Amino acid sequence: MNGIILILTCLIIGKLVTRTISCKSEFIYSLNRVAITVALPALILDKVHSQSFSLDALFPLLSPWILFLVTIVLVYLIKIFVPMSRITTGTLILLAGTANTSFVGVPLIQAMMGTEEYLGIALWVDQSNFILLFTLGAFIADYYSGEKISIRKNLHALIKYPPIIALFFAFLLKPFIYPSFITFTLESLGSLITPLTMISVGANLTIPRNRKLIGYLTIGLTIKLIILPLFILATLLFIYASSNIYINQIVLMQAGMAPMVIAVIIALERGLDGELASIMTAIGIPISFLTVPLFYYLII
């Protein structure tokens, strides 16, 4: 309950602060940069380093890729009945196929589960999701926008991304035990992820004004927030589930997270439908605060 109150407080603070500053976009950008370059890498260096790696990690690591492929199939099935342009198709695949597993996922999982013992699992899903975004996701963005596909450019962006660098060092340093002051520093910096990201989300909450996008918005969010977590739930119930219920809960919650912010940036950079991408994220995040807990309680 304390975690939920913290999230709600930060959302309110974010919304209130934007009424007192002249440049909202710079404020949000600054918060996101600190979260991406400081808080999230510190959390990864702390939790992934301490999380033991086992076969239970395979499904969390594979789940983003499975869901992305399922999204492609769903969008093309819907396309049979609902006409959509090449640009719209690519936008829906990219935004519905990737999830906000760090900015929203980590704080919400911390708040719902009330324990950090298995937070490393959430970060495995998150890092797999980032690798997916900068590889297959970027390929999709290039293909549907008509731009020249550059594998080298996408991989270069991936290896420069601070959380990915942190992931590399977290595994490299696994044989070593951190000194207490290093652990304390990483825990302190990592604890910033919730206030930073939730204030940023609160500052960015807006009501869409373009009614023409409502149909595609509904399609995208239905896939992202309902169908994909239902697919994972069915998989956990009938095909494969870890003996550790916490891992199952984390995979299910991460599957139901809203579209990711960085996917919006890629959509804008690659010439996809930036307005649809932005609205999917802006509307999807607050809705996910209701849908994700519902799925969590289905498998508790």
Give domain limits for the chain.
1-298
Buried b (16+ CB within 10 A) or exposed e, 106-115: bbbbbbbbee
Residue 72 has a pLDDT of: 97
Distances from the Cα of 204 to the Cα of 18, 19, 33, 86, 263, angstroms: 9, 12, 15, 28, 16
Q: Is the pLDDT of residue 3 over 70?
A: no
Q: Is the pLDDT of residue 78 over 60?
A: yes
Indicate the average pLDDT of the chain: 87
Alpha-carbon gap, residue 199 to 214, rounded angstroms: 26
Average pLDDT of the segment spanning 45-49 = 85
Residue 180 has a pLDDT of: 93
Tell me the whole-structure pTM to 2 decimals. 0.85
Residue 252: other Cβ atoms inside 10 A: 22
Which two tokens mark 62? 């594979």
Average pLDDT of the segment spanning 221-238 = 96
Average pLDDT of the segment spanning 105-117 = 80
Q: Is the pLDDT of residue 2 over 70?
A: no
Which two tokens mark 166? 């942190």
Q: Percent of the chain having pLDDT more than 90? A: 37
Q: How many residues does the chain have?
A: 300
Alpha-carbon gap, residue 9 to 177, rounded angstroms: 36
Residue 208 has a pLDDT of: 65
Residue 300 has a pLDDT of: 65
Which two tokens mark 110? 């911390």
Alpha-carbon gap, residue 16 to 178, rounded angstroms: 39
Average pLDDT of the segment spanning 264-270 = 83
Average pLDDT of the segment spanning 252-275 = 88
Residue 157 has a pLDDT of: 80
CATH architecture of 1-298: Up-down Bundle (1.20)
Q: Is the pLDDT of residue 1 over 70?
A: no
Instruction: Output the furthest CA–CA distance in the chain (Å, rounded).
Output: 59
Residue 244 has a pLDDT of: 87
Tokens 């849908």 appear where?
291
> How much helix, strand and coil, in percent to the nearest 5, is found in the chain?
80, 0, 20
Residue 160 has a pLDDT of: 87
Q: Of 6-10, 69-73, 105-109, 145-149, give the lowest mean pLDDT range.
A: 145-149
Residue 115 has a pLDDT of: 65
